[in-house]
Amino acid sequence: MLKKIILFALFMSFLIALAGCQESPKPTDRLQEYVELWNKEKFDDMYNNYLASSTKETFKKEDIVTRYKDLYDDLEVKDIKVEFTKPKEEPEWDKKKTADFPITVSMNTLAGEVSYEETITLTKEKRDEEEDWYIEWKPAFILPELEQGDKVGIDTIEAVRGEIFDRHDNPLAINGEAFEIGIKPGEFNEKDMEKVSELLDVSPEFIQAKLEQSWVKPDLFVPIKRIPINDRPLALEITDSKGVLSARVEARQYPYGEAAAHLTGFIGKIQAEQLEKLKGKGYTAQSLIGMRGAEGLFEEKVKGQDGQRIYIKKETEETVTVAEKEVKNGENITLTIDAELQKKLYDQMKDEVGTASAMNPQTGEALALVSTPAFDPNQYVLGISSSQLKKIQDNPDKPLLTRFSTTYSPGSTMKPITASVGLKSGKLNPNKVFEIKGKEWNDEAFGNYKVVRVFDNDSTVDLESALKYSDNIYFAKVGLEMGADTFTKGLKEFGFEEKVPFTYPTKQSQISNDGTISKKVQLADSAFGQGEILMSIVHLASAYGGIINDGNMMKPRLLLDEKQEVWKEKLLTKEQSEMLKTDLRKVVTEGIASKASVEGKEIAGKTGTAEIKSEQGTTGVENGLFVSYDQKDPTMVLAMLLEDVEKAGGSTHTVQVAKKFYESW
């Protein structure tokens, strides 16, 4: 028994000694844990396990946890960094009740970086029979100088959106004004609903929904729709009704309207998906953003950066600035486009379905990019009605399609490119004469397929004759003599099968669906512009530019300050270039494009008809092309394509439309 008592006494002594060896809790360890949670934004854990009782008596959980989360979200806080350095020598903490330590807090916000120092106090408390250190929390830990009862505010100074101009400083997209038509419900006569609805081209239900918004009061102005500032007669007619008012408001304007619609694009309210994708880049749910065209392409430049100020409003009405970022207005953009040329070209094409590209062959500058039919970008900015939108979307001619950025079969406009490839490779002798009889020709490798030409007036055909009369059989034979490898290599040297280095996204031109030519019949067809060859109108104009610019094709440019560069060089020798230019002139003076003659100009060029059909012998849709330039002033190559022209005269119709443009320009 005595032995057991002695052993028990020894055991108890051991426990007491062991307890005496355990260190007392340190405030530095607790603070380090708290800081780590803070950096990870674990606000619930910070509140539940680390805050002093006095803090929890003063502040409810939502006062701290919810406020942290809401403010960090509203202020777009990221890269939060809280730092605390432990002292090299620590006192006997078991003899102290409180401890103070300096901390530094830094973060990035929507208004810039915020960095400050604070003193944090820890208090020793006994909970569940154990002593530990707890933080005395204060609002200044969220933002510097923030106190209980203060409010945090954000001031935004909107950046002025940059404007877009043409090469002559004509405005393409500018910050202007519009009339905002609205209703004061307390003064409005319901009998005028139909009249106002009709004049504004919106439904009565649309207007009624606006008037039934939760914030609406009888004496408040309720915006209904914006109309162009130059439509003053309409504004006066609408506001003739009692309770219907107008106000001048800022609005984006597109002075050239439909003529430059696909080029300029328009701005509109940001969509939810876009907002999520651009999170942290200064956009809000109310932001306007470039939706397409130059507005979308150069959004980052023209948008600018809103000025932001984060401030604390004291109960005394005094304000303290926490962070401030100056407003940075958007940049103005100058395009290579000649807006008046663009409008002239559009005016000639507006009743057609098609596209055109005018390029300077010496500089690569895009002078005009037209797609018809088009739409009025001003309607989208001012608020397009559902009936207008449906009309555009249901139009079978697809006015929203940007045709100058897509690809088409080039038809016979391909022939000068084929000739260039043959001349450079040495596989084409321009003086070699082919004996061709009749309008049809069949190679034994073609099976039942036949190459057909339009004219059979020449039986001895050389390059000049083949270009003048657009001889398919001649170019089919040239293609076969060249061979698929030489032809394919030459087309790639012209930029086929690669991205066109143009600021405006343009689909790349293709040699075939898989990039190769494996059959003789495909090679023959491709050589005169059929087969599976596809080109964009921009690339087509650029390629002709290379032919007439002594064999150097310039990189297409849309920005005036963009560096001038050669895209593809030495496509032809100067002598070969001069020969093809002579032949292209004869296409108009002696050949198939005689209707392109314009008094005072020396128009040269090549026509093309691309028949889109499923198989030989069937009827398909014809697209008519004409690539041309004035040899008296070779600073512009005009490539034009009009769709579905078979009933209007085929490619001759395209020639006539181009001629009218030249006569007016």
Instruction: Give residue 12's pLDDT band: very low, low, confident or very high (50, 70, 90).
Output: low
The 3-state DSSP class for residue 365 equals strand
Known catalytic residue at 197: no
* pLDDT at residue number 57: 94
Domains of the chain: 23-148 (3.10.450.100), 164-334 (3.30.1390.30), 343-664 (3.40.710.10)
Average pLDDT on 109-122 reads 95
Instruction: Give residue 22's pLDDT band: very low, low, confident or very high (50, 70, 90).
Output: low
- Give the pLDDT confidence of 158-190 residue by residue, as tens digits: 999 999 999 999 999 999 999 999 999 999 999
- Give the pLDDT confidence of 501-553 residue by residue, as tens digits: 999 999 999 999 999 999 999 999 999 999 999 999 999 999 999 999 999 99
Instruction: Give residue 282's pLDDT band: very low, low, confident or very high (50, 70, 90).
Output: confident
Tell me which of 371, 405, 409, 412 is the catalytic residue. 412
Whether residue 246 contacts residue 228, with contact meaning beta carbons closer than 8 Å, is answered with no
* pLDDT at residue number 142: 95
Does the pLDDT value for residue 211 go beyond 60? yes
- Give the pLDDT confidence of 384-427 residue by residue, as tens digits: 888 888 999 999 999 999 999 999 999 999 999 999 999 999 99
Structure tokens at 461: 């055909």
Q: How far apart are CA 254 and CA 25, in angstroms?
A: 71
Whether residue 112 contacts residue 282, with contact meaning beta carbons closer than 8 Å, is answered with no
Whether residue 322 contacts residue 314, with contact meaning beta carbons closer than 8 Å, is answered with no
Does the pLDDT value for residue 581 go beyond 90? yes
Q: Which of 418, 430, 359 is nearest to 576 (CA)?
A: 430
Instruction: Give residue 663's pLDDT band: very low, low, confident or very high (50, 70, 90).
Output: very high
Q: Is the peptide bond before 373 cis (omega within 30 degrees of 0)?
A: yes
The residue type at 319:
T
Q: How far apart are CA 242 and CA 238, in angstroms?
A: 9
- Give the pLDDT confidence of 431-460 residue by residue, as tens digits: 999 999 999 999 888 988 999 998 887 789
Q: H/E/C letters for each residue in 117-171?
A: EEEEEEEEEEECCEEEEEEECCHHHCCCCCCCCCEEEEEEECCCCCCEECCCCCE
Whether residue 531 contacts residue 491, with contact meaning beta carbons closer than 8 Å, is answered with no
Q: How far apart are CA 130 and CA 500, in angstroms?
A: 74
Count Cα atoms within 13 angstroms, Cβ side, for 340.
6
> Checking phi first, is residue 515 left (phi over 0); if not, alpha (psi -120 to 50) or beta?
left
* pLDDT at residue number 457: 79
Instruction: Enumerate the H helices of 494-644 as residue ranges.
Output: 520-527, 537-548, 574-589
Q: Give the residues across from 627 on adjacent strands.
A: 606, 639
Instruction: Provide, rounded to the nearest whole percent, the portion of the chain with pLDDT above 90.
Output: 85
Does the pLDDT value for residue 20 go beyond 50? no
Whether residue 357 contacts residue 365, with contact meaning beta carbons closer than 8 Å, is answered with no
Structure tokens at 653: 């119709």
Average pLDDT on 228-252 reads 93
